[in-house]
Amino acid sequence: MQVPELKGKVAIITGAGRGIGKGIATRFAREGAKLVLASRSRDQLEAVAAECGGDVMVIPTDVSKTADVDALFAQVLKKHDRVDVLINNAGWASPIAHILEMDEQHWDTVIATNLRSIYLFCNRAANAMVDRRIKGSIVNISSFAAARAHRYMAAYDATKAGMEGMTRTMAIDLAPFGIRVNVVGPGAIHTEEYEPAGEQARIRRGQTVPLGRVGYPDDIAGSVLFLCSDDASYITGQTIYVDGGMLAQLRSPQVDAPLPDSVKARLPS
């Protein structure tokens, strides 16, 4: 999918140093967007920027801190005087904690990183767009955790459900200004953090997915790109789950009845 209307647009991507954020950044770079990459690690950001090429700003940022976020927008607006696209991808998922043992520091850290950051970035980006009469696009990266529970991840799951609720409200608030706000919810996505487990672990993880494989950052990037394009100009306040069908199934294939031999024979080799 080529999106020529994104050429030259200023796109801020948080959590851009690796994984899904890196995948989104490299895809937007191929479309000619002017990138602003944010995460805590300068080294990771600079490596992604080198891979992207073109017009890239690298801004190490703690997305949960007001001062850091304000400094990022000050730099972006000084250089470009506009924001066209915001992709909120930064998030914190580990370590896990059972609700009986979760302390307040764990809860507060997850909420600050995954939910407070959404408010900070959306508030600043939306104000910049409104002030400049830009009909921009905001995409928040959630998880199927917003719809289904992870064991021992009450804080994380709460932030993803909260993100989707915020998105619907922000979409309504910003619709009169022509600013669209949507969510992409990844499923089992294979990123570099899973590489040490090896090929067999990747295959086993994919066996739970109806499409029979794990997803990759490019799968998420394509959906984000669509939501930022003119093809999605009438879509706002929506969540698109990019999960290979996981939320559609009642139970995983491992606990369901095996396929009949007559059906197995028709599967692609």
Rounded CA separation 157/190 (Å): 19
- Token duo for residue 266: 């028709």
Strand partners, 97: 153
Which residue is listed with tokens 């190490």?
60
- List the Cα angle 65/178/84 in 5-degree steps: 50
Residue 33 CB partners (closer than 8 Å, separation 6+)? 6, 7, 8, 9, 10, 11, 85
How far are the Cα atoms of 91, 154, 207 from residue 85, in angstroms, in the given order? 18, 30, 35
Catalytic residues: 156
Rounded CA separation 180/70 (Å): 22
Q: Rounded to a whole number, what is the distance in angstroms from the first to the last CA of the chain?
A: 28
Residue 50 CB partners (closer than 8 Å, separation 6+)? none
